[in-house]
Amino acid sequence: MRYNAIDLFAGCGGVSEGLHQAGFNVIAAIELNRNASRAYSANHKECKMFNEDIRKLDAEKIRKVLKEQPLHLLSGCPPCQGFSSMRRLNRKQEVNDGRNDLVLEYLRFVRELKPLTIMMENVPALGEYSLFKEVLSELDKMGYNPKCHIVNVANYGVAQRRKRFIMVGSLIGNLDIAKGNDHMVTVRDVIFGLENVNITTDVIHKVYPKHIPRIQKMISLIPKNGGSRKSLPPEYLLECHKKQGVGFNDVYGRLRWDNVSSTITGGCLNPSKGRFLHPEENRCITAREAALLQSFPRNYIFPIDIPKTELALLIGNALPPEFSRIQGTNIYKHLEKYCK
């Protein structure tokens, strides 16, 4: 039996890709961003995509897609910009951002659709967000017995350091968060041996930034396999990096072949945003390499008619599919146990 799932705030499809690999029938998804929804639909043609503002979407439209079938899993990742550590500058208080209230939309759909199980993923700071604590209390009152934990996806077979907050719950029995297997997948495992960017036929592998000669020379001087800007001769240090106590030491850093990558963020196609230089070649990682480090399949489709900055956001904002697959497999086994 294939169990039905719905993906709220679906982005370009990282969660749904993992759930599909776990055996779920993802029948509907909601995503406001047009380019993200295009990427999603290109890869999940069987799924009904609602490219709409979830705050204006009547749950009755989703019920029509369900066609009176049970909803086994409702998954969602409400936008997290207001309570991300970068936005809060590492302070404890949350930023007053209207998108923070979208956690209430997740709760609304749980109430109206009554899924048998639930899953939510977000930044670690979500667990301290006052409104989320209220949502958690309501889910508990509804009988979901939600479990929450902060995990690192590197412990789940993803070649990347990335701490995430995960919540699961069930109406039909005790459901725990899937544990990682602690099998480290490295940058080498994922992107070593890819064809040269100059001869590839993969248009996504051709997408990476080109630099002015001085920056290109600076990149060439950064030591291979994990080097950083700290090794540069003084004349190649950027003015903003010469000041004492300047943070963000990973900018213009190279990835290491035999370790996981740094977090693939929405700035992953800009080496001034983090450690996103190729371990060996004198360039930033490509969009395809970033997607592979996120654990997307090699043939995953992304729009090619959008700016690099938007493509980077689609990839960097996604939940790694492999992490979703492991959590989805755990939930699938739970459903098999209780749905006789």
Of 146, 177, 180, nearest in space to 161 by CA: 180
- Nearest-angstrom CA–CA distance, 182 and 84: 26
The active-site residue out of 80, 240, 268, 339 is: 80
65's enclosing H/E stretch is helix 59-66
Residue type, 261: S
- Nearest-angstrom CA–CA distance, 129 and 71: 28
Burial of 303 (0-12, 13-18, 19+ CB in 10 A): middle
Of 85, 73, 123, nearest in space to 103 by CA: 123
Query: How many helical (H) and strand (E) elements, i.e. helices and strands, does the chain have?
Result: 10, 7
- Nearest-angstrom CA–CA distance, 228 and 254: 6
Of 152, 160, 179, nearest in space to 168 by CA: 179
Query: DSSP states of 20-49 as a string?
Result: HHHT-EEEEEE---HHHHHHHHHH-TTSEE
Active site residue 80: yes
- Nearest-angstrom CA–CA distance, 213 and 177: 49
Residue numbers annotated as active site: 80
